[in-house]
Amino acid sequence: MSLVPAVSQLVRSHLSTAFPGPVASASVTFLGTQPLEVDRFGPDESGLVRYATVGVSAAPMHPPTATVLDPLRGPRAELVLSLSSPRDQVLRSLAVLAATPQVEGLVLTAGATVDLQQPLWPGARVTAVLMGDAGGLVPDLDLPSVGEGAEPVRFYPVLPMTPDEAALARARGAAHLRQLWLDAGTDLRDPERVSVLR
């Protein structure tokens, strides 16, 4: 019996406790991958919209060098993007990011960068993302029902980057870029923001 529906249902229920409010969902399937969904929550009372993936965590992530793919053990992740106004065209871009563990063997974790080399939504200045620290926005989701040894699902904030910010993160490290954002008071949730390097 597949664990995919069971884990996805647990993830969706967990997300609904973190982000109450109306939910819309879009499903995307890439050749050779399990279906991935992106749920939209909000806007909430402060106007924030959350986009969260559902389906990445259906299976543990393994690097391409792994010789044995353990169906139970290994890190599990979902992605959460927060914006101050809706950009529903980002759904497909998030699905592309969510598919990278299956397609490219990428293990999604804090500090990882993924460059789509195209706008995250039409007209966006941001073309890449930095994975933030899990646990702050959405608590980890334990999976005791999946089996002994199953790691919890961790929910990583997706921090959009402009091309020059992504280049800086690769050259100087994610911590350097995050400090620049902090020093400049950059609102990473603003879909219209410009690069911190301008």
Extract the tokens encoding 3.
């664990």
Domain boundaries, the chain: 4-184
pLDDT at position 181: 97
**pLDDT at position 1:** 42
Q: Which amino acid is at 126?
A: V
Condensed to tens digits (0 to 9), the pLDDT of residues 44-91 reads 888 999 999 999 998 899 887 776 777 788 899 999 999 999 999 999
Q: Residue 6 is inside which H or E element, if any?
A: helix 4-18
Q: Among 36-40, 61-65, 89-93, 150-154, where is mean pLDDT lowest?
A: 61-65
* CA dist list (Å): 126 to 84, 151, 162: 15, 32, 4
Q: How far apart are CA 61 and CA 71, in angstroms?
A: 9
109 closest CA partner among 126, 136, 130: 130
Give, in order, the Cα–Cα distances in Å from 48 to each of 12, 41, 53, 171. 19, 9, 17, 32
**Is 1 buried (19+), middle (13-18) or exposed (0-12) by CB count in 10 A?**
exposed
Q: Is the pLDDT of residue 3 over 70?
A: no
For 56-116, give the DSSP string.
Answer: GGGS----TT-SS--SSSS-EEEEEEEESS--TTHHHHHHHHHHHHHHH-----TT-EEE-
Query: Phi/psi zone of residue 105: left (φ > 0), alpha (ψ -120 to 50 degrees), beta?
Result: left
State CA 6 to chain mean position distance. Answer: 20
Q: What is the pLDDT of residues 160-176, one digit of tens each?
A: 999 999 999 999 999 99
* pLDDT attached to residue 72: 80
Taking the C-alpha atoms of residue 70 and residue 101, their distance in angstroms, rounded to an integer, is: 14
User: If you search the block for the tokens 């992605």, which residue do you land on?
Assistant: 79
3-state helix, strand, coil in the chain (%, to 5): 25, 20, 50
Q: How far apart are CA 147 and CA 32, in angstroms?
A: 26
What is the pTM for the complete model shown? 0.91
